[in-house]
Amino acid sequence: MPEARKKESQEARGWIEAADSVAVLTGAGISAESGVPTFRGTGGLWRSFRPEELATPEAFRRDPKLLWEWYNWRRELISKALPNPGHKALVELESRKPRFTLITQNVDGLHDLAGSKNVLKLHGDIWQIRCTKCGKSWTDRRVPLPDLPAHCDCGALARPDIVWFGEPLPAGIWSRAADAVEDARLFLVVGTSAVVYPAADLIPLALARKVKVIEINPDETPFSAEVDCALAGPAGEILPRLVAS
Ligand code: BJW
Ligand code: ZN
């Protein structure tokens, strides 16, 4: 490791060690090493559709079966995925901190599977299904789901219980995430392109509150130049090194 990078990592380790209250924001990149494709960048496409075209209520209204086929494809991929050393390092960090909140944009459930406890899911959960009429929500882990599009017991069309573009986040979740960031001494931003809002707004919120922000991502993001430390590389390698006591 080059000398400058080593020094930067050592400083970041010191901040992690010292912080009694930690918040973490994760995105698709933390699951990349588990084999779950990210949304943007290479491998982020499905049948040449972009997520911005598919992940909308309009796309679901237009063609619910097509959307469900996309979700069946992703559910199958995710069902075979296991938490990687990045997910596990966050479990270890949570066990050492009196206050720890893991805010994730991911719907894959890999943080739960790894054993993280205080997880806020900003964009829902791919294993949850919700009725478009009566609002009932239930867990269904079958892969593949038969008889698409899925329906509720009441007969109405059901949808993935996931936040699509133009839809609000689950009730109350935003204020809990913002409170956790404001309370934190350290904010780790891992594997997100930081282009989807309101999630990305947590980063300037932390910076405005003088919370130390460490970004972990092989690529630059719109916030890389503003954060206190940007560590370039895969989360599955960097997080275990940072968290090791
Ligand atoms: C690695 C790695 C490795 C790779 N290690 N890293 C302000 C400004 C502009 C627009 C808006 C705004 N506020 C709201 C909007 C609109 C919109 C939005 O943000 N649009 C932008 C795209 C322009 N936002 C919304 O619509 C949100 N709702 C909303 O604002 O509601 C308001 C409202 C209020 C009241 C009533 C009604 C409405 C909702 C956003 C929902 C996002 N949903 C999705 C899809 C869910 C579907 C599904 O999963 O099935 O969530 S979009 C998609 O992007 C998904 C992700 O959670 C999200 C973020 O992506 P993420 O996680 O960052 O992944 P990638 O792929 O982008 O990046 C991966 C990163 O990993 C890369 O940087 C890699 O380099 C890195 N990486 N390998 C570490 N090994
Ligand atoms: Zn129903």
pLDDT over threshold 80, residue 5: no
Q: How large a percentage of the chain has pLDDT more than 90?
A: 89
Q: What is the reported pLDDT for 110?
A: 98
Q: What is the average pLDDT across 44-63?
A: 87
Q: What is the reported pLDDT for 243?
A: 95
Q: What is the reported pLDDT for 16?
A: 97
Is the CB of 191 within 6 Å of ligand 1?
Answer: yes
Q: What is the reported pLDDT for 121?
A: 98
Alpha carbon nearest to ligand 1 atom 33, residue: 168
Model confidence pLDDT, tens digit, residues 142-175? 999 999 999 999 999 999 999 999 999 999 999 9
Q: What is the reported pLDDT for 53?
A: 87
Structure tokens at 226: 């503003």
Q: What is the average pLDDT across 174-178?
A: 98
Reported confidence tier of residue 44, pLDDT bands at 50, 70, 90: confident
Q: What is the reported pLDDT for 48?
A: 77
Reported confidence tier of residue 120, pLDDT bands at 50, 70, 90: very high
CA geometry: angle at 177 spanning 128 and 126, to 5°? 15
How many Cβ atoms sit within 10 Å of the Cβ of residue 23? 29
Model confidence pLDDT, tens digit, residues 58-68? 999 999 999 99
pLDDT over threshold 70, residue 233: yes
Q: What is the average pLDDT across 100-129?
A: 98
Helix (H) or strand (E) holding 190: strand 186-190
- Alpha helices (H) along 80-229: 85-96, 110-114, 173-183, 202-208
Q: What is the reported pLDDT for 2?
A: 66
pLDDT over threshold 80, residue 7: no
Reported confidence tier of residue 1, pLDDT bands at 50, 70, 90: low
Q: What is the reported pLDDT for 153?
A: 97
Integer Cα distance of 1 and 83 in angstroms = 26
> How many A from CA of 3 to the centre of ligand 1?
34
Helices 235-243 and 3-18 cross at an angle (nearest 10°) of: 60
CA geometry: angle at 185 spanning 179 and 187, to 5°? 75
Is the CB of 197 within 6 Å of ligand 1?
Answer: yes
Residue 187: name the closest of 24, 72, 56 by CA: 24
Q: What is the reported pLDDT for 71?
A: 96
Per the model's pLDDT, the better-predicted residue between 131 and 54 turns out to be: 131
Atom of ligand 1 nearest to the CA of 39: 66
Integer Cα distance of 104 and 100 in angstroms = 13
Residue 233: CA count within 13 A, CB half-sphere: 14
Q: What is the average pLDDT across 207-233?
A: 97
- Ramachandran assignment for 109, one of left (phi > 0), alpha (psi -120 to 50 degrees), beta (any other): left
Atom of ligand 1 nearest to the CA of 200: 19
Is the CB of 177 within 6 Å of ligand 1?
Answer: no
Reported confidence tier of residue 85, pLDDT bands at 50, 70, 90: very high
